[in-house]
Amino acid sequence: DEIADELNIIVVDILTGRARWSEEISDAGPLCASLDAKGDISVNGDDCSRCEFRLDTPWSSDAAERRKMCCLNYTILGITLSDYMPCIIRAHGISALPLRQLISQLRLNRQLRGEYFRAAINIKSQEKTGKYGTAYALHPKIVELITDETKIEGLKAESNRLLGAPIPLPVGRPEEEPEPLGFTPEGIPFYSEAEKDRLLAPAAAEPPATGEPVVTPAPAVAEAPAAAKEPEPGKEEKKEPTKAPLDLNF
């Protein structure tokens, strides 16, 4: 794992939690914690408002006292300006006050109007060694307000994506239209069974205006010559007498 000397980021979100650690610096997790400091409920289901170890202003106490208490901590969700990669920075202990000040600067800056992705922030880390071990103090600072509109739109889209907000499509790239399920005899498309029933219902329900049944003409069929009638059994067929042709030679 590399330790970065500094990072240049934009802030997407800052979460506030609580944690009570052991007095020794180690890889072990906290003794107790809360992921949401405003909720006042610990991960163990305890009421933080009644906790004897709760400390809302850790920067007002010395290190020895602070290590015994459950202190505020801040988690920054950000995007690096160098390659637009998401990053998470956790600040607690000696870094809590600088992060608290950064939050105030972002909220009170009228030029940002709540759009924190417009502020380029530099965060430096400073190594400090005490009797409890080595720790790193974070020093965040707003270095500039981004004015390039193309860059702002890109950072805004990335911020919304990380927050799970819907991202509007750029102009000229409309959403893909779904394929219709079918078409009516008139060629009107329908996209659901309900729409199909609605479009086809009038044609099936409306009777003809005259009230007369509609007769569908049958296709023309060539008439076959009438078959000769067979004589009934036991009867002889009567033959018409043949008339002699008139003799016109006088």
SS3 (DSSP) at 132: coil
| Measured distance CA(147)–CA(119) in Å, rounded | 9
Q: What are the Cα distances from residue 195, in Å, to 186, 190, 202?
A: 14, 6, 12
> Regarding predicted confidence, which is higher, 129 or 16?
16
* pLDDT for residue 153: 92
**Sorting pLDDT into bands at 50, 70 and 90, what band is 234?**
low
| Residue 33 pLDDT greater than 50, yes or no | yes
Strand residue runs (E) in the chain: 6-20, 32-34, 54-55, 70-80, 86-91, 119-130, 133-145, 182-183, 189-190
What does pTM read for this prediction? Answer: 0.59
SS3 (DSSP) at 6: strand
> Tokens 């950064």 map to which residue?
102
User: Rounded mean pLDDT of the chain?
Assistant: 77
* pLDDT for residue 11: 93
| Residue 169 pLDDT greater than 50, yes or no | no
**Sorting pLDDT into bands at 50, 70 and 90, what band is 126?**
confident
| Residue 214 pLDDT greater than 70, yes or no | no
**Sorting pLDDT into bands at 50, 70 and 90, what band is 246?**
very low
Work out the average pLDDT over 202-207: 62
| Residue 168 pLDDT greater than 90, yes or no | no
Work out the average pLDDT over 146-167: 84
Please answer whether residues 9 and 79 qualify as being in contact, where contact means their C-beta atoms are separated by less than 8 angstroms. yes
| Residue 2 pLDDT greater than 70, yes or no | no
* pLDDT for residue 247: 47
* pLDDT for residue 225: 52
| Measured distance CA(93)–CA(20) in Å, rounded | 10
> Regarding predicted confidence, which is higher, 11 or 21?
11
* pLDDT for residue 170: 43
> Regarding predicted confidence, which is higher, 55 or 211?
55
| Residue 176 pLDDT greater than 50, yes or no | no
* pLDDT for residue 249: 45
Nearest to 72 by CA among 102, 35, 103: 35
| Measured distance CA(76)–CA(65) in Å, rounded | 25
**Sorting pLDDT into bands at 50, 70 and 90, what band is 173?**
very low
Beta-bridge partner residues of 7: 123
